[in-house]
Structure 1
Amino acid sequence: MDPVDHSDRFPGSSDPAMRERLASNGKLAHITSHGVIFPTDLPPMLHKTRRLLDQNGYEDKETAAALRVVQKGDRVVELGAGMGYMSSVVARNCAPAEVHAFEANPALIPCIRRVHSENGITNATVHHALLGREEGVATFYVRREFVASSMLPDPVEDVISTHEVPVRPARDTIAALRPDVLICDIEGAEEMVLPLLDLTTLRAAIVELHPQYIGLQGVQRVFDAMRQGGLTYNPRRSNGKVVTFSRPG
């Protein structure tokens, strides 16, 4: 598939200055990773990100788990969609029936939509929302390194802006979507969000833990939530802080 620039359809999904710098240096306008085309002028597309995408090394542990766990026809929920990487890789490679990508950072929503559009992905839905105990709004902290943005205010010196983001009731939202697989990378909020969910419909869950924020007690809360949902730690599909839980049998 030839790369097509849909940036005009998704205002805010491109950085014109970055595009000029890339062009002047003879850099590619698009990079392909795991069969997915990514525009290199996305605002969050740092040099390191471009390099890792080019080497199929971006989010490599989470990617390896997802490509093994997600099956054809699955309903997938992703919490923390970033620039649209994981939802696109899963949609392109695993033939799920539905992918629901939740992202709180408003600056990343047009980026996700553009990546999906330029790859012709039609089975993914983008949700600009957080999940919480009840409906409302919450403060989201955007950091210089976009992947570290989260609901956590610390470290305060790295915060460049704050946004009020819609909050959807976590339990009801997941119950309505009835996912087979949950993918979660929400920078420490996993200890707050996952215990709120009914996980009994899941076949598997892939969670990136952030012990630097939640400590060992937070890690234990995540494991307890999975156990209560009938899911067991799967060492064969886990790697370091990226842990996979599967339903026995």
Structure 2
Amino acid sequence: MKDAQTIDAKEFITTNGMKFPKDGHFMTGRIRGAMTDGGYEAKETKCLLRVVREDDVVVELGAGMGYTSTLLATKRKIKHIHAFEANPTLIPYLKAVHAANGVENATVTNAVLGSRKGSVDFYVRRNFLASSLTPIEGTNVSSVEKIEMLNTKTVFKSLKPTVLVCDIEGAEADLIPNMDLTGLRAAVIELHPQWIGPEGVNKVFRAFMDAGFAYYARGSTSKVVSFRRAW
């Protein structure tokens, strides 16, 4: 991939005032179309902008192509966003998106969070959206990469986030109930009920309720749910 500062303007897709390089692998026809017509992550965008405030410190789990981190860094005067992404092939593109949009208050880390410090296998697939920590049979795995796992409690203690943003393809049901959520002001979680089922959904809601949060309807829509301590 070219350095972001050398890419011509014609080589970008623009959505919501943000620029995304027309990379042939990640910028698929479906994503390009959604970005062009303004429908890409539209529901998520509304939820995020209703929850995140000026001076928030955000931890994002599942940074993907850099849409959310760029959105919050450019549309809200946040202190910082710490973007964690497991897929190593996405990291150069994610950083290029930040550079193209002049984002300076974001840190990108190729890692997953968990209950311990160590490493895990990550299955990179041709369709990057299908890449995951799960060895699903019958899928086209391009490579298996060893990814660093960081201790969630240690990371939160160090970064002191006020908002958690999470889109981790079904792992939310296992990770969130084991998090220390006490330092957070709010959270925006994309649920994957097709994978975690009603029991997993209830585990996520119960974890936030037990930590003193309430469901925030105005910042929620469909599978994207928000929680706040105070309205």
**TM tier, smaller:** over 0.9
What percentage of aligned pairs have identical amino acids? Answer: 46
What's 1:132 paired with?
114
State the partner residue of 1:157.
139
Q: Distance in 2 between matches of 1:232 and 1:213?
A: 24
Residues 24-173 of structure 1 aligned to structure 2 (within 5 Å): 28-41=10-23, 43-173=25-155
| Residue in structure 2 matched with residue 195 of structure 1 by the alignment | 177
1:81 Cα deviation after fit: 0.3
Q: Distance in 1 between matches of 2:135 and 2:209?
A: 29
Matched residue, 1:22 = none
Correspondent of 1:8 among 3, 8, 19: 3
**CA distance in structure 2 between the partners assigned to 1:225 and 1:245 by the alignment:** 11
TM-score by length of structure 1 reads: 0.86
Q: What amino acid maps onto 1:109 in structure 2?
A: I
Q: CA deviation at 1:157?
A: 2.3
Gap change, CA 1:42 and 1:120, over 3 Å in 2: farther
Displacement of 1:143 in angstroms is 2.9
Deviation at 1:177, TM superposition (A): 1.1
**1:155 shift after superposition:** 4.8
Count the aligned residue pairs: 230
Tell me the secondary structure at the aligned position of residue 223 of structure 1. helix
Tell me if the contact between 1:231 and 1:247 (Cα under 8 Å) persists in the aligned partners: yes
SS of 1:201's equivalent? coil
Q: 1:42 to 1:176 in 2, by over 3 A?
A: farther
Could you tell me how far apart the structure 2 residues matched to 1:155 and 1:180 are? 38
1:186 to 158, 168, 185: 168
Tell whether the 8 Å contact from 2:12 to 2:22 is kept in structure 1 after alignment: yes
Question: 1:213 deviation in Å?
Answer: 1.4
How far apart, CA to CA, are the structure 2 residues paired with 1:161 and 1:212?
Answer: 26
- The match for 2:214 is 232
In 1, distance between residues paired with 2:24 and 2:66?
A: 11
Alpha-carbon separation, structure 2, partners of 1:240 and 1:113: 29
Distance 1:102 1:59, change over 3 A: same
Residue 72 of structure 1 and its aligned partner are, at CA, apart by 1.1
Q: What SS class does the counterpart of residue 193 from structure 1 fall into?
A: helix
| Pair 1:227–1:200, CA change in 2 (3 A) | same
Runs of at least 5 residues in structure 2 that lack an aligned partner in the other structure: none
Partner-residue secondary structure (3-state), 2:157: helix
Q: Name the aligned partner's letter for residue 8 of structure 1.
A: D
Compute the RMSD of aligned alpha carbons.
Answer: 2.1
User: What's the secondary structure of 1:44's corresponding residue?
Assistant: coil
In 1, the alpha carbon distance for the partners of 2:25 and 2:170 equals: 23
Q: Secondary structure, in 3 states, of the residue corresponding to 1:147?
A: helix
CA shift, 1:92, in A, is 0.5
Residues 119-175 of structure 1 show CA distances to partners (whole Å, capped at 9, x for unaligned) of 111000001100011100001122333223222222542433321100000111122
